[in-house]
Amino acid sequence: MVDFARVQKELQECSRDIERSGIKVIPKNEATLARLIGTIPGPVGTPYEGGTFQIDIALPDAYPFEPPKMQFTTKVWHPNISSQSGAICLDILKDQWSPALTLKTALLSVQALLSAPQPDDPQDAVVAQQYLKDYQTFVGTARYWTETFAKKSSLGIGEKVQKLVEMGFPEAQARSTLEAVGGDENLALEKLCSG
C-alpha cells in the first residue's frame, strides 16, 4: 500500500521550494495521491530552456520501495525520452531506485537528463541517431518542439476558446477544459479530442 503520509510530506516539500527549483507536484485529481502531475522547467542553456514540461506520475502500491512510474505528457525531442509515448529511460526510475529518493529528487534527475542526454542508452533510437550524427539538426528540432509543445501561448483565454470553437468544439466545453488544464491549448485539445 502506498505510504500516503510520506507522499503528502513530499508534496509539501515541493511546494515550499517551488520558487527556487521550479519543480511542482500536484495530485492529478482529488480522489487519490497515487496519481500525480509533476512539472519541471527546461534547464537553462539547453534547447529546452523556457519550456515547462508536464510529467504523469503513477505511484505503485509498494512506493517508496518501488520507483514511481513517470512519463512525459508534454512532447519532448530527446534521446532518452520516447517522442511517441513520453516514456523515460533513466536508471533511478528502474533498477537504481532507492526508498531514500523522493518525487522531487526523481524530477530533478529527469531535469538533469534534459541537460545531459545519454544517446548510447536511448529510449528513442531515431532521436539518438540524430543527436550523434547531426547535432545541429537535433538542437533545432528539440528547440522547435519546446516552442511548440512546452511554452504557454501568449494568447488570452478568450482567444484560445475562440480557436477551439473554430475547430468545432462547444464554447462552454472549450472554456471549462482550458481552465482545467491551466490554459494549455495543446493539453486542452488533446483532452477534448479524447472525449
129: Cβ contacts below 8 Å, ≥ 6 apart = none
Q: Which residues are known to be catalytic?
A: 89
DSSP string for residues in 71-131: EESS---BTTB-TTT-BB--GGGTTT--TT--HHHHHHHHHHHHHS--TTS-S-HHHHHHH
Cβ neighbours around 150 below 10 Å, total: 22
Query: ∠72-75-76 over CA atoms, to 5°?
Result: 85
SS3 content of the chain, % helix, strand, coil (to 5): 45, 15, 40
User: 32-41 and 69-72 as β-strands: parallel, antiparallel, unpaired?
Assistant: unpaired
